């Protein structure tokens, strides 16, 4: 398992054996490749003779590796790129279409095939990258010298770093700087109450559960990109959970504890401080998955009218893990055994181990982009707030993470009636009666929107589903702006089972979905009233936001 922690060898062995049992299909696939490559060569000869090429293999619009005009300046480089694209697309497709193999193996094999050929792209090597050659000649070798310095620095750090030494970012100053106070702290969470900006606020508070992978301030990046600040400016009282970054002494913290002493505790704090009978609860990514489980538990313990959450929002969150996206390639017995062995020794999954896995989901933009620009071009990466947050990752405690991997990703037990026991109660998503506002994003590779959409058919209450353009982060952190190019679709999805049918019946709207969400919240979060005090006798102010836990390394 140490030599092959992800079971890649076993996966490709099954793919190979399947193709050996289908020689005719294999021969047809090889003929197809030969014809495709021959056509590319014929087009090249036609262009060389001064004719017009009929068909060329082109990179996808989002693939920036070959976007520079240098790649098309000479026929040799252009043909090399076309051969690379044609062969890799062909191979990935036939691997994915392998006859007689389980879907999970086909997905995993296609994923690892793509990883291998992304690494072998001509853009990644100096002698086959015309842009790198041009920069080296133009700078008289200075770009290469700087690239070598960047390489040595990353070698010392043990990682391809996405940021330079001086990022210019400080949490609490130019990040996570919406005014607020920590009003509760236990061994698992801090609860931040944000200060009101107007004389009136909605009666019902909002309690946000961020993912415990990375830190909460993705919801509060800066003045222009802060979801928290936007909600406060809209007249809502906002509470935020800040998760403690676990170490070995938190190894036994369970998923149930994250629900009961984390999310539910924050809800009770918000209710006590504001005097509200109920709250609006928000969950993002795995925080939304946990909120979904808690909602099922609350609807199991109480009548719907007695549940302390009046309505809720899910942001890029899965409940059904049958198709969890490209991360599925990491979910097999080999990888799980390796992860569990690491966690048994450490007490947690280390943040670097976790970060490496997520970067492999988008290697061209999160790994090879930096190899090319830092080592081959000799450039210093720009300082971006989202990248700073992305590198400020966290650890995951053994018990909780093992539960998520086994019970959610492998067994998919959250969607099975009474399969999970939380707080001594068997939970069923079908009991959840409270209205749900759910958001997915078109380019999400962590929680694919077609999978998040499945929640609409799993819960009993009414569902408004929103699909935003962009990905897992930028599709959610999507503030209204006159210059925004974002778009979204929104409409009722109560009980809907077919995402394609739903999407075809919705009109595309320009701008940020935040406007639609705030309108939905304003209708449901009660009358405008005098803002509650910050903290209370039972929950006094402990310190200023963003608190102590977010600063822990």
Q: Are residues 16 and 107 in the same domain?
A: yes
Q: Report, as an integer, the average pLDDT of 48-56.
A: 71
> Is position 543 annotated as part of the catalytic site?
no
Q: Are residues 119 and 192 in the same domain?
A: no
pTM score? 0.94
pLDDT of 149 above 90:
yes
Residue 206 to residue 133: CA distance in whole angstroms? 54
Q: For the beta carbon of residue 204, count every other beta carbon within 10 angstroms.
A: 22
Q: Report, as an integer, the average pLDDT of 112-116.
A: 94
pLDDT of 184 above 50:
yes
Domain boundary (84, 101, 125) is at 125
Mean pLDDT lowest among 138-147, 259-268, 300-309, 479-488: 479-488
Residue 407 to residue 420: CA distance in whole angstroms? 8
Residues 6+ apart with CB under 8 A from 547: 182, 185, 190, 192, 242
Element (H, E) at 314: strand 309-315
Q: For the beta carbon of residue 538, count every other beta carbon within 10 angstroms.
A: 10
Q: What confidence score (pLDDT) does residue 454 get?
A: 98
Structural domain includes residue 3: no
Average pLDDT value for the chain: 94
Q: Which of 285, 404, 518, 543 is catalytic?
A: 285
For 185, what's the count of Cα atoms within 13 Å in the CB-facing half-sphere? 14
Number of domains the chain is built from: 2
Q: What confidence score (pLDDT) does residue 503 get?
A: 98
Q: Are residues 418 and 502 in the same domain?
A: yes
Structural domain includes residue 296: yes
Q: Are residues 109 and 214 in the same domain?
A: no
The residues that bridge with 243 in the sheet, in sequence order, are 189
- SS3 assignment, position 410: helix
Structural domain includes residue 307: yes
Torsion sign (Cα): 398, 400, 401, 406: positive
Q: Are residues 193 and 101 in the same domain?
A: no
Q: What confidence score (pLDDT) does residue 238 get?
A: 98
Mean pLDDT lowest among 57-66, 130-139, 542-551: 57-66
Domain boundary (125, 147, 167) is at 125
Q: Are residues 280 and 407 in the same domain?
A: yes
Q: What confidence score (pLDDT) does residue 1 get?
A: 47
pLDDT of 534 above 70:
yes
For 28-40, the pLDDT digits (tens) are 999 999 999 998 9
Q: Are residues 218 and 92 in the same domain?
A: no
Residue 237 to residue 215: CA distance in whole angstroms? 21
Q: What confidence score (pLDDT) does residue 45 get?
A: 83
Structural domain includes residue 250: yes
For the chain, give percent helix, strand, coil, nearest 5: 45, 15, 40
Q: Are residues 120 and 191 in the same domain?
A: no
Range of the domain at 68: 8-125
Structural domain includes residue 203: yes
Q: Report, as an integer, the average pLDDT of 275-291.
A: 98
For 387-411, the pLDDT digits (tens) are 999 999 999 999 999 999 999 999 9
CATH number for the domain spanning 429: value is 3.40.50.1820
Domain boundary (83, 101, 125) is at 125
Q: What confidence score (pLDDT) does residue 388 get?
A: 94
Q: For the beta carbon of residue 333, count every other beta carbon within 10 angstroms.
A: 11
Q: What confidence score (pLDDT) does residue 411 get?
A: 96
Q: What are phi and psi of 548, to 5 degrees?
A: -90, -35
Residues 6+ apart with CB under 8 A from 232: 178, 194, 195, 196, 197, 238
Residue 187 to residue 240: CA distance in whole angstroms? 16
Report residue 54's pLDDT band, with 50, 70 and 90 as the boundaries. Answer: low
Q: Are residues 308 and 455 in the same domain?
A: yes
Report residue 166's pLDDT band, with 50, 70 and 90 as the boundaries. Answer: confident
Q: Are residues 462 and 532 in the same domain?
A: yes
Torsion sign (Cα): 492, 494, 499, 504: negative
Structural domain includes residue 104: yes
Structural domain includes residue 344: no
- SS3 assignment, position 97: coil
Q: What confidence score (pLDDT) does residue 55 get?
A: 66
- SS3 assignment, position 223: coil
Q: Are residues 72 and 208 in the same domain?
A: no
Structural domain includes residue 173: no
Q: Are residues 299 and 443 in the same domain?
A: yes
């Amino acid at each position: 398992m140490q030599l092959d922690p992800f079971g890649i060898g076993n996966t490709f062995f099954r793919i190979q054996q399947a193709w050996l049992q289908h020689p005719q299909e294999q021969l047809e696939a090889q003929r197809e490749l030969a014809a495709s490559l021959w056509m590319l060569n014929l087009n090249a000869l036609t262009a060389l003779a001064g004719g017009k090429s009929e068909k060329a293999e082109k990179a996808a619009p989002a693939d920036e590796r070959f976007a520079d005009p240098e790649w098309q300046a000479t026929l040799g480089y252009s043909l090399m790129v076309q051969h690379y694209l044609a062969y890799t697309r062909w191979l990935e497709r036939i691997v994915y279409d392998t006859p007689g193999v389980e879907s999970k193996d086909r997905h995993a094999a296609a994923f690892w095939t793509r990883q291998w050929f992304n690494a072998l792209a001509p853009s990644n090597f100096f002698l086959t990258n015309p842009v790198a050659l041009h920069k080296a000649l133009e700078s008289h070798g200075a770009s290469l010298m700087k690239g070598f310095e960047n390489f040595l620095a990353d070698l010392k750090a043990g990682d391809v770093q996405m940021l330079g030494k001086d990022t210019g970012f400080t949490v609490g100053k130019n990040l996570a700087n919406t005014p607020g106070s920590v009003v509760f702290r236990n061994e698992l969470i801090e609860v931040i109450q944000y200060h009101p900006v107007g004389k009136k606020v909605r009666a019902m508070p909002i309690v946000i559960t961020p993912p415990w992978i990375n830190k909460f301030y993705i919801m509060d990046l800066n003045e222009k990109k802060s979801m928290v600040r936007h909600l406060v400016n809209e007249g809502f009282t906002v509470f935020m959970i800040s998760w403690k970054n676990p170490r070995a002494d938190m190894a036994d913290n369970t998923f149930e504890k994250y629900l009961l002493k984390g999310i539910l505790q924050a809800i009770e704090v918000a209710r006590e401080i504001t005097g509200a009978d109920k709250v609006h609860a928000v969950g993002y990514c795995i925080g939304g998955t946990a909120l979904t489980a808690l909602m099922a538990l609350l609807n199991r313990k109480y009548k719907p009218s007695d549940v302390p959450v009046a309505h809720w929002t899910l942001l890029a969150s899965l409940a059904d893990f049958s198709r969890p996206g490209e991360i599925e390639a990491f979910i097999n017995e080999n990888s799980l055994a390796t992860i569990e062995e690491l966690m048994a020794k450490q007490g947690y999954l280390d943040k670097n181990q976790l970060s490496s896995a997520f970067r492999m989901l988008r290697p061209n933009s999160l790994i090879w982009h930096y190899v090319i620009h830092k080592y081959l071009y000799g450039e210093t990466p720009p300082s971006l707030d989202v990248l700073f947050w992305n590198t400020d990752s966290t650890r995951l405690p053994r018990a909780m993470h093992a539960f998520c991997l086994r019970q959610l990703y492998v067994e998919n037990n959250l969607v099975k009636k009474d399969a999970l026991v939380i707080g001594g109660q068997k939970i069923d998503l079908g009991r959840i009666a409270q209205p749900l506002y759910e958001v997915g994003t078109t380019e999400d590779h962590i929680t694919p929107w077609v999978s998040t959409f499945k929640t609409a058919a799993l819960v009993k209450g009414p569902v408004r589903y929103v699909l935003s353009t962009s990905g897992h982060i930028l599709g959610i952190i999507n503030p209204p702006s006159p210059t925004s190019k974002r778009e979204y679709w929104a409409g009722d999805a109560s009980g809907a089972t077919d995402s394609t049918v739903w999407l075809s019946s919705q009109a595309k709207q320009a701008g940020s979905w935040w406007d639609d969400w705030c309108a939905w919240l304003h209708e449901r979060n009660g009358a405008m009233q005098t803002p509650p005090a910050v903290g209370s006798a039972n929950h006094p102010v402990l310190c200023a936001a963003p608190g102590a836990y977010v600063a822990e390394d």
